[in-house]
Chains A and B, each alone.
Chain A
Amino acid sequence: MEREKKERVLSLLVNNRPDVLARVAGTLGGRGYNIETLCVDATIDPKISKIILTTIADQPTLNKIEKQLMKLLDVKQVTDLTRLASVHREMMLVRMKLTDQNKADIALIIDTFDGRVVTMNGDHCVLEISGTKEEIERALENLKPLGIDDMARTGIVALERTK
């Protein structure tokens, strides 16, 4: 069994009820497992929500996490997307102060990472960049020296390539 500790992406189908997220988070937290990122919203069926979460674990630990999650009555399905052919994306919003010195560099980064300017207010702008985790991190590295005001990341969303 895979003993390497690495980032694992779990996709959960759960009942869309207010306390379900607390149950899922408590199940991991209470047993000492950390949630690295978390994304939740309703599916096409409004009674069912999808939770995409990532955690750093080896394979035996991940198996235990999956089984504990399956014990929750509100959890319908747990899929380990790390082991399946799947696409992973995340999105980031970054607010930056525009100066004469950084404008050109920011434009270049937007171009490189297929980002866009969501809004511009006086000398501030908010950028949107989406991509793989690695792309987001590289974009962030490039933006940092140019003066980041604030930022927010969604964490990973992921989907199996085929059914």
Chain B
Amino acid sequence: MKGAQIFIKALQQEGVDIIFGYPGGVVLDIYDELHKEKMRHILVRHEQGAVHAADGYARASGKVGVVLVTSGPGASNTVTGIANAHLDSIPIVVFTGQVPTTLIGTDAFQEVDIVGITRPCTKHNFQVRRVEELARTIQEAFHIARSGRPGPVLVDLPKDVMASVTEYKPLPRREKEDIEVKPASKKAFYVLDLINESKRPLILSGGGVILGRASEELRQLAWRTRIPVTSTLMGLGAFPGTDPLWLGMPGMHGTYYANMAISHCDLMIAIGVRFDDRVTGKLDTFARKAKIVHVDVDPSSINKNVMVDVPIVSDCKSALQSFNQLLAEQKFNVMDERRQEWFDQINEWRSAAPLSYCQDSKSIKPQFVIETLYKLTRGENTIITTEVGQNQMWAAQFYRYDHPNTFISSGGLGTMGYGFPAAIGAQLAFPDKLVVDIAGDGSIQMNIQELATAVQYKIPVKIAILNNGYLGMVRQWQQLFYEKRYSHTDMTYAPDFVKVAEAYGLTGLRASRPEEVEPVLKKGLSMKGPVLMDFQVDREECVYPMVRPGAPIHEMTLGREMAN
């Protein structure tokens, strides 16, 4: 069988039902087989879009996203998408074409050393030098992508290898092997003792809980022990955003009460987090009063930024299951009165500084758009994706996520242009759900070419642009830290987004006054195909609360002093 045929067979063996890709010279053999095999392929308009779409597909569905591109620029255009998936631990496999093995190293036409380029931003990568290695390498790539701490894997496919012939024996899909922590282990008992003794406990959950499909176990632990929960950006949705125990997101733009709880808790149970600087603020003041339990599947996350007292290397699900099992055996008393003081204190913080903004009658506040969107779309049948910057933070603050895999955002790399192609991927994973990309006018222009993809395949994603004519978050920093010198952040010279939408063949709607927000959303969300909604919002609204970079997280600017 020819290499290109083996490629398709091996993907089918892995259960792949969709490929995001872009053809070119050295992958023609593969594209020819794709044509014959009728495997679903989504033709993007830029390779970066393909990787983000595969990433969004993976985040929404939990399956491995697949990308196929050509060599040279096709391959190098995937790098941002790969780095994005790497920092957020998203399982994708990227197949890049490569010049024939005889030409590798000769600076051939459309040759780049993509294995070298992506070495630091993939979990692992391969170049297949012989067709006999092809099936095994593909099996290995999928296994690596989804096992342990997931991540992107790149497989480089020289043209001659794909045209060579060998015997094909199907290899079974390898299931993921979890690193287990046994329920009876000393550490789990110790964690329970800590919970029993604690007067001010707090759970900090992260993306690992969603990736490890441990949301149900997290909820059980929190509900059974009545420990309040805060989640990082990557962890939103693992614990219900409408639950009384929910404190909102912590960190630079976290809620006042989540950050105060972190600074005052005496026990922090950190699950599937990696203590990013945007979460911790100044490291030596982070959770200074707390004993920290840290569960993570990746040993290198533990004691990397924050020194912890109880390190547990385990996938989140096994660890949480073992805690819950011990709790059930111990008949843990949930109504512990020693904790009342802690809840009173949290409620005091909560009412002192809730998330807020001032909606006036003149201009649309971006937060109001998100709140209205939430009112109209709440529930597990809505998936929200975001771009990066103010739009992302408001989407994290003012929309409440009750279900895992319903908030999709570029956390670690902070990739502008991520949200829209990711929405396309998420929508293809769940054709019947409502998928909304909350965008900024800067970010949307970074992958706006994918509008053509959405129209071509009738992918009914909805885009809500919070259009303030600025690179809003950068402008906010210039306002607060650079004495309002708005150096190169004015984006007034943008296209008319409604006309752009129409030119691509989708519906464009616009709201420029507060009373138009709800009608535009209602109309846009109810339409069958893709829709772009342009909300012309208050130009200089800032995201608050805010912790200055490098400051302790309990030292927050609440923003009220800025109002009026």
Contact = CB atoms under 8 A, between A and B. Distances in A.
Interface of A: 19, 22-23, 26-27, 30, 60, 63-64, 67-68, 70-73
Interface string B250-275: 00000000000000000000000000
Contact of A30 (B120, B299, B300): B120
Interface in B95-143: 115-116, 119-120, 123-124
A27 to B, nearest CB: 8
Interface residues of B, number: 12
Interface string B177-204: 0000000000000000000000000000
Contacts of A68: 300
Contact of A71 (B115, B116, B298): B298
B375 interface: no
B300 A67 contact: yes
User: What 3 A-B pairs have minimum CB-CB distances, sorted nearest first?
Assistant: A67-B300, A73-B124, A30-B120
Interface in B16-54: none
Given A30-B120, A73-B144, A19 B303 contact: no
Nearest to A1: B307
B304 interface: yes
Nearest to B302: A67
B303 A26 contact: no
Nearest to B149: A71
A122 B414 CA distance: 65
Nearest to B125: A19
Interface string B328-357: 000000000000000000000000000000
A71 B296 CA distance: 14
A64 B299 contact: no
B119 A23 contact: yes
B300 A70 contact: yes
Contacts of B119: 19, 22-23, 26
Nearest to A71: B300
Interface string B283-321: 000000000000000111001100000000000000000
Given A22-B119, A23-B119, A63 B303 contact: yes
A63 B305 CA distance: 12
27 contacts: A19-B115, A19-B116, A19-B119, A22-B116, A22-B119, A23-B119, A26-B119, A26-B120, A27-B120, A30-B120, A60-B303, A63-B303, A64-B300, A64-B303, A64-B304, A67-B299, A67-B300, A67-B304, A68-B300, A70-B299, A70-B300, A71-B298, A71-B300, A72-B124, A73-B123, A73-B124, A73-B144
A67 B144 CA distance: 18
Given A22-B116, A26-B119, 14 more contacts: A19-B115, A19-B116, A19-B119, A23-B119, A27-B120, A30-B120, A64-B303, A64-B304, A70-B300, A71-B298, A71-B300, A72-B124, A73-B124, A73-B144
Contacts of A26: 119-120
Contacts of B298: 71
A67 B302 CA distance: 9
A71 B124 CA distance: 10
Interface of B: 115-116, 119-120, 123-124, 144, 298-300, 303-304
A26 B119 CA distance: 8
A136 to B, nearest CB: 33
B277 to A, nearest CB: 15
Contacts of A63: 303
B263 to A, nearest CB: 24
Nearest to B124: A73
Nearest to B298: A71
B152 to A, nearest CB: 13
Nearest to B300: A67
Nearest to A31: B120
Most buried by B among A19, A70, A72: A19
Contacts of B303: 60, 63-64
A61 to B, nearest CB: 11
Nearest to B120: A30
Contacts of A30: 120
A24 to B, nearest CB: 11
Contacts of A19: 115-116, 119
B143 to A, nearest CB: 10
A64 B299 CA distance: 9
A64 B115 CA distance: 25
A23 B125 CA distance: 10
Contacts of A72: 124
A68 B116 CA distance: 18
A111 B298 CA distance: 53
Contacts of A23: 119
A27 B119 CA distance: 9
A138 to B, nearest CB: 39
A60 B298 CA distance: 17
A19 B113 CA distance: 12
A78 B506 CA distance: 56
A6 B131 CA distance: 47
Nearest to A29: B120
A30 B121 CA distance: 10
B503 to A, nearest CB: 43
A84 to B, nearest CB: 20
A7 B299 CA distance: 24
A63 B144 CA distance: 24
A72 B119 CA distance: 10
Nearest to A68: B300
Contacts of B120: 26-27, 30
A153 to B, nearest CB: 28
A33 to B, nearest CB: 13
Nearest to A64: B304
A22 to B, nearest CB: 7
Contacts of B116: 19, 22
B220 to A, nearest CB: 30
A65 B123 CA distance: 16
Contacts of A73: 123-124, 144
Contacts of A22: 116, 119
A27 B120 CA distance: 7
A102 B415 CA distance: 65
Nearest to B148: A71
Contacts of B115: 19
A67 B123 CA distance: 14
Nearest to B127: A19
A70 B116 CA distance: 20
A125 B123 CA distance: 49
Most buried by B among A26, A60, A67: A67
A19 B115 CA distance: 9
A71 B144 CA distance: 12
